[in-house]
């Protein structure tokens, strides 16, 4: 079985050597044609433009001297010299151009136009017999315009010369490559018989490695899904803890009716958050990880709910919790997903704010017609260098961290935001705190358009 296959591969190797040789010949011909029909003619035409430009200067000088001696103006030599420049320019523009040559060619046309205007003004002054003005135009304006055109032409000439040099080097490289390739293919064809058994063993081993990697990937995905479910359970238990705390407060006999009503409202709000969270994530799961395109959630009410639910925890840690919202705006997601995003970032800021003298967390919103952006800024110590590059990865936790958790909160934020067409990020300054943010498409956004909200300086 392997002998016919090996023999066939040897034949194919020789055929491959022929194909490679032909392909490299074609590549060499292509580079040679570029030199023969593009770069070389371009350099030739541009060099002629420079020569004709010098001739035009001499013609103008002669015309000025003739008129200064009292002879009648004769525009014919000047027009012939101008036409000669234009003919060379037309011949150059008819040639193919490199992509990086377009701007330089435009500069040549612009300076040529300036030169033409100067020559026309010179001819008008000569026709009027205004020798001083014509002298000034020739010695100042024409020299300036001619210098600019000459410099622009030189830029294009040097660019084409550089391309010609690169093409020559490419031809040399292709020829060398063709020699080595032909020799290499001959050697390979001779060694294939021995290499066949080695290759078979390697294929079998690679297949086994692929199966093992696939199995590990499936295990990692299953573990990640399990941990994600644990994070969702944490998001549900957190407001339920607020409900439990509210019930304990209500059972205290010294509470006034107004205080009981306030506690009951806080507990009801926490239960509403649980309901929104569960319904949103359930809808997301039922949709096969595809968000509802018609979903919408209002940021202001969500931020107020989350802040109200986290306020007791912030008070307990002596943290000033503030909200700065940028008017009414709607994100393209359901309220449960938005609540989970904001609550995760805010809870993470409370957890890691540290023991600094200033303890403040601000939740703010910004929006454009396409994007809504939520930022959570804290005055904590900032991110440790070892954790910042992977802060949004599952299980990412700083070495030596004593805070409870398994490192899925920010990973949950990233997963939810990206699943809804958004993105996440963080800016951290050691000793000054962090700004965690996420962006989601706005309800008013057009399909396929995503314009990020500019971050504050």
What's the number of CA atoms in the CB half-sphere (13 Å) around residue 321?
23
Please determine, for residue 45, whether its predicted confidence score (pLDDT) is greater than 90. Answer: no
Radius of gyration of the chain (CA): 38
- DSSP-assigned beta bridge partners for residue 330: 298
86: left (phi over 0), alpha (psi -120 to 50) or beta: alpha
More confident residue, 210 or 445: 210
**77-91, 261-275, 434-448: range with highest mean pLDDT:** 77-91
pLDDT digits (tens, 9 = 90+) for 382-430: 888 878 888 888 766 665 555 655 567 888 889 889 988 999 999 998 8
pLDDT of residue 400: 54
Please determine, for residue 103, whether its predicted confidence score (pLDDT) is greater than 80. Answer: yes
Q: Which two tokens stand for residue 201?
A: 């063993």
CB-based contact 407:396 (threshold 8 Å): yes
Residue count of the chain, please give it: 457
Class of CATH domain 293-441: alpha beta
CA distance between the termini of the chain: 69
Does pTM surpass 0.75? no
pLDDT of residue 436: 96
pLDDT digits (tens, 9 = 90+) for 357-384: 889 999 999 988 899 999 999 999 888 8
Query: What whole-number distance in Å separates Cα of residue 229 and Cα of residue 425?
Result: 23
CB-based contact 395:408 (threshold 8 Å): yes
- Per-residue pLDDT band at 110 (split at 50, 70, 90): very high
Q: What are phi and psi of 198, to 5 degrees?
A: -65, -40
- Alpha-carbon separation of residue 21 from 28, 31, 167, 174 (angstroms): 10, 15, 19, 10
More confident residue, 373 or 27: 373
Instruction: Give Cα 316 to chain centroid, integer Å.
Output: 43
Instruction: Give Cα 294 to chain centroid, integer Å.
Output: 29
The position carrying tokens 């994007």 is 371
Residue 32, number of CB atoms within 10 A of its CB: 14
3 state SS of 163: helix
> Which of 192, 274, 256, 219 is CA-nearest to residue 11?
192
pLDDT of residue 144: 93
Query: What whole-number distance in Å separates Cα of residue 306 and Cα of residue 243?
Result: 14
Please determine, for residue 287, whether its predicted confidence score (pLDDT) is greater than 50. Answer: no
Mean pLDDT, range 191-219, rounded to an integer: 73
Please determine, for residue 27, whether its predicted confidence score (pLDDT) is greater than 90. Answer: no
CB-based contact 93:105 (threshold 8 Å): yes
What torsion do the CA atoms of 449, 280, 228, 240 make, to the nearest 10 degrees?
Answer: 140
List % helix, strand, coil for the chain (3-state, nearest 5).
Answer: 70, 10, 20
Domain with CATH 3.30.565.10 in the chain: 293-441
- Per-residue pLDDT band at 330 (split at 50, 70, 90): very high
CB-based contact 105:156 (threshold 8 Å): yes
Please determine, for residue 345, whether its predicted confidence score (pLDDT) is greater than 90. Answer: yes
pLDDT digits (tens, 9 = 90+) for 222-280: 665 666 666 666 667 777 777 777 777 777 777 777 777 777 777 787 777 677 566 54
Residue 139, number of CB atoms within 10 A of its CB: 12
Q: Which two tokens stand for residue 127?
A: 């026709």
Q: Which two tokens stand for residue 393?
A: 């990865």
Query: What whole-number distance in Å separates Cα of residue 452 and Cα of residue 373?
Result: 9
Which secondary-structure segment (H or E) carries 28? helix 2-34
Class of CATH domain 2-197: mainly alpha
> Which of 266, 263, 261, 330 is CA-nearest to residue 302?
330
Query: What whole-number distance in Å separates Cα of residue 336 and Cα of residue 350?
Result: 21
* Alpha helices per DSSP H over 35-142: 40-68, 76-93, 102-128, 131-136
Q: What are phi and psi of 435, to 5 degrees?
A: -125, 105
pLDDT of residue 119: 92
3 state SS of 298: strand
Share of the chain above pLDDT 70, in %: 79
pLDDT of residue 422: 92
Handedness of CA 255, 261, 266, 268 (dihedral sign): positive
CB-based contact 405:391 (threshold 8 Å): no
Domain with CATH 1.20.120.1730 in the chain: 2-197
CB-based contact 335:297 (threshold 8 Å): yes
């Amino acid at each position: 079985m392997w002998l016919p296959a090996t023999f066939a591969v040897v034949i194919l190797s020789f055929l491959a050597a022929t194909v490679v040789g032909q392909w490299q010949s074609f590549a060499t011909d292509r580079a040679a044609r570029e030199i023969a029909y593009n770069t070389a003619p371009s350099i030739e035409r541009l060099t002629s433009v420079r020569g004709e430009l010098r001739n035009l200067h001499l013609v103008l000088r002669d015309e000025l001297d003739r008129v200064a001696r009292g002879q009648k103006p004769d525009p014919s030599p000047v027009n012939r010299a101008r036409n000669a420049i234009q003919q060379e320019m037309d011949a150059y523009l008819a040639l193919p151009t490199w992509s990086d040559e377009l701007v330089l060619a435009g500069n040549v046309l612009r300076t040529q136009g300036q030169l033409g205007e100067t020559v026309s003004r010179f001819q008008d002054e000569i026709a009027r017999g205004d020798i001083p003005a014509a002298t000034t135009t020739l010695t100042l304006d024409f020299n300036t315009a001619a210098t600019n055109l000459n410099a622009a032409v030189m830029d294009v000439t040097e660019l084409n010369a550089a391309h010609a040099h690169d093409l020559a080097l490419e031809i040399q490289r292709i020829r060398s490559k063709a020699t080595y390739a032909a020799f290499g293919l001959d050697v390979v064809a001779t060694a294939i018989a021995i290499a066949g058994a080695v290759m078979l063993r390697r294929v079998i081993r690679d297949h086994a490695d692929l199966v093992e990697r696939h199995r590990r990937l499936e295990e990692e995905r299953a573990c990640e899904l399990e941990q994600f479910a644990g994070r969702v359970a944490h998001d549900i238990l957190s407001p339920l803890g607020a409900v439990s705390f509210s019930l304990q407060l209500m059972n205290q006999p010294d509470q006034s009716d107004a205080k009981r009503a306030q506690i009951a409202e806080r507990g009801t709000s926490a239960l509403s958050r649980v309901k929104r969270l569960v319904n949103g994530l359930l809808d997301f799961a039922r949709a096969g990880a595809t968000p509802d395109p018609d979903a919408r959630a209002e940021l202001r009410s969500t931020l107020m709910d989350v802040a109200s639910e986290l306020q007791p925890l912030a008070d307990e840690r002596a943290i000033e919790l503030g909200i700065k919202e940028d008017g009414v705006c709607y994100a393209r997601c359901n309220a449960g997903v938005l609540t989970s995003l904001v609550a995760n970032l805010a809870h993470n800021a409370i957890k890691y704010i540290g023991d600094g003298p200033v303890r403040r967390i601000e939740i703010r919103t910004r929006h454009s017609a396409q994007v809504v952006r939520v930022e959570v800024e804290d005055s904590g110590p900032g991110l440790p260098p070892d954790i910042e590059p992977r802060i949004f990865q599952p299980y990412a936790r700083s070495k030596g961290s004593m805070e409870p958790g398994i490192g899925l909160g920010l990973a949950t934020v990233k997963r939810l935001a990206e699943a809804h067409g958004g993105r996440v990020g963080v800016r951290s300054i050691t000793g000054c705190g962090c700004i965690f943010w996420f962006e989601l498409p706005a309800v008013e956004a057009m399909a396929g358009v995503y314009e990020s909200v500019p971050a504050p300086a």
